[in-house]
C-alpha cells in the first residue's frame, strides 16, 4: 500500500443504521439520497449531512435509488417487484409493477426524460413528457444490466447470450450484440462507440458499433466477476473492477485490442464501486477495505487523494459540480468529501 497518497478527512459522515445500496445526488447538488437495503429512502442535506426526508420506499428491501439527472425526482426499485418515482417530499408520482419478479435494474436516460426499468425478464420504458409506459418483448433470461445510448434514443439490456437493443420511442427491436455467456453488468460509452459488459467468467466483453460479427473483443484475466464499469465522460477511458486493482483501458484511436491497461493499485480489498466525474477527468474508486480513492487515471497510476471509512464501501457518486464525492457503506453510513482543486 502506498502511504504517500494524502489521507483526507470527510466533510461530514452520518450513520443511517442499515447497509446502503446506492447514493445519488440531486441535480442541483443540494441533497444526497441514500437507498437502504431495508427499503427506506433517506435524503440528506449535502451541506452538513442532516436529514432532509425519510420514508419507506419498498416493504421487502431496496435495490436502487437514483435521482433524475434533470429533475428533483428519485426512482427506486425493490424486492417487492415495484419501481417507483418519488418527489423530494415523499409523494409517490409513478408506480410500475414487475409482477412476481424483483425489480432490480433502473436507468435514467442522460437527459432524464426517460426511465428504463427491468424486473426479471421484462423491460419497461417510461416517458416523462407523456407518462406513457411501454414494455418490450420478454427477454430470454433475467436482465442483469441496463445502459442508455448517450442521445437517449436506444436502451441496451444485458442478459444471457448477449445484449438486446431497443428503441426508446416505441420499444421496438433496434439490434442485438450476441455473446454466449451470462452478462452481469453493462455500460455504453458516452461517444456511442463501444458497449461493454462484465461476464460471469471474470472477463469483459466489448462490442464496437456499428456491430460487425467476428470483431468482438474479450478481455480476461480478472480475479473476480466484473460488476464495476465506468466510462470517462468523453468515452476514451473505461475503468473496470473485478479485483483489488482498477484497470483502465484506453479506448481511443484503434481501441483497446492488443493493448495493456493502466493498473491502479493501492486498495487492500476488492473494488466495489467506480464513478467518473460527469464532465471532468477524476475517477473515484471504493473498495471493501473501506477506502475511497480519487485518480486522474488518464495521466497517472498514483492516487491523488484517499479517504477512509469504517466499513466496506458499497457505492460512490460524484456531485453534479464534480467537486464533491459521496460514499455509502455496508454498515450504513454516508460520507461526503472534497475533490482536489
Among 91, 94, 87, 81, which residue's Cα sits nearest to residue 125? Answer: 94
138 φ, ψ (degrees, to nearest 5): -65, 135
Q: Is the pLDDT of residue 2 over 70?
A: no
CATH of domain 124-221: 2.120.10.30
Report pLDDT digits (tens) over 242-282.
999 999 999 999 999 999 999 999 999 999 999 999 999 99
* CATH level 3 topology of 230-341: Methylamine Dehydrogenase; Chain H (2.130.10)
Answer whether 42's CB lies under 8 Å from 63's CB.
Answer: no
125-134: long-range contacts at Cβ-Cβ below 8 A with a sequence spacing of 24 or more? 125/155, 125/166, 125/168, 125/171, 126/85, 126/94, 126/96, 128/71, 131/94, 133/96, 134/170, 134/171
Give the model confidence (pLDDT) of 38-47 as tens digits: 999 999 999 9
Q: Where are the domains of the chain?
A: 15-97, 124-221, 230-341
Please state, in angstroms and rounded to a whole number, the distance separating the CA atoms of residues 312 and 296.
23
Calculate the alpha carbon distances from 294 to 79, 276, 312 in Å: 33, 9, 17
Class of domain 15-97: mainly beta
Per-residue model confidence (pLDDT) at position 100: 80
Q: What's the confidence (pLDDT) of residue 261? A: 96
Burial of residue 138, with CB atoms counted within 10 A of its CB: 0-12 exposed, 13-18 middle, 19 or more buried: exposed
- Confirm whether 15-97 and 124-221 share one CATH topology: no
> CA 138 to CA 123: how far, in whole Å?
7
- Show Cβ contacts of residue 89 under 8 Å, excluding neighbours closer than 6 positions: 53
Dihedral (C-alpha) 144, 150, 152, 157: value to the nearest 10 degrees? Answer: -20
Determine the pLDDT at residue 10: 98
Instruction: Specify the 3-state DSSP secondary structure of 121.
Output: coil
Amino acid at each position: 500500500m502506498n502511504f504517500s497518497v494524502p489521507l483526507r478527512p470527510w466533510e461530514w459522515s452520518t450513520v443511517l443504521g442499515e447497509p446502503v445500496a446506492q447514493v445519488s445526488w440531486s441535480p442541483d447538488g443540494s441533497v444526497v439520497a441514500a437507498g437502504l437495503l431495508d427499503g427506506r429512502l433517506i435524503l440528506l442535506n449535502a451541506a452538513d449531512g442532516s436529514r432532509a426526508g425519510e420514508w419507506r420506499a419498498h416493504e421487502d428491501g431496496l435495490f436502487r435509488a437514483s435521482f433524475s439527472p434533470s429533475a428533483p425526482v428519485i426512482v427506486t426499485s425493490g424486492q417487492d417487484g415495484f419501481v417507483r418515482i418519488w418527489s423530494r417530499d415523499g409523494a409517490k408520482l409513478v408506480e410500475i409493477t414487475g409482477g412476481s419478479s424483483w425489480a432490480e435494474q433502473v436507468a435514467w436516460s442522460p437527459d432524464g426524460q426517460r426511465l428504463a426499468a427491468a424486473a426479471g425478464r421484462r423491460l419497461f420504458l417510461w416517458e416523462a413528457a407523456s407518462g406513457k409506459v411501454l414494455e418490450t418483448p420478454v427477454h430470454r433470461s433475467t436482465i442483469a444490466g441496463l445502459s442508455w445510448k448517450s442521445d437517449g434514443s436506444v436502451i441496451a439490456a444485458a442478459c444471457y447470450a448477449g445484449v438486446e437493443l431497443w428503441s426508446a420511442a416505441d420499444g421496438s427491436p433496434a439490434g442485438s450484440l450476441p455473446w454466449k455467456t451470462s452478462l452481469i453488468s453493462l455500460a455504453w460509452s458516452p461517444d456511442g462507440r463501444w458497449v461493454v459488459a462484465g461476464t460471469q467468467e471474470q472477463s469483459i466483453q466489448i462490442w464496437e458499433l456499428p456491430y460487425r460479427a467476428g470483431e468482438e473483443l474479450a478481455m480476461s484475466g480478472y480475479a473476480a466477476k466484473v460488476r464495476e464499469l465506468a466510462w470517462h465522460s468523453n468515452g476514451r477511458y473505461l475503468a473496470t473492477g473485478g479485483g483489488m486493482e482498477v484497470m483502465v483501458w484506453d479506448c481511443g484511436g484503434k481501441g483497446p485490442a492488443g493493448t495493456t491497461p493502466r493498473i491502479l493499485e493501492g486498495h487492500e480489498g476488492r473494488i466495489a464501486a467506480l464513478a467518473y466525474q460527469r464532465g471532468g477527468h477524476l475517477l473515484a474508486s471504493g473498495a471493501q477495505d473501506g477506502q475511497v480513492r480519487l485518480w486522474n487515471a488518464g495521466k497517472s497510476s498514483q492516487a491523488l487523494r484517499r479517504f477512509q471509512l469504517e466499513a466496506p464501501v458499497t457505492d460512490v457518486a460524484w456531485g453534479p459540480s464534480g467537486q464533491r464525492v459521496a460514499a455509502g457503506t455496508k454498515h450504513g453510513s454516508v460520507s461526503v468529501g472534497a475533490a482536489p482543486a
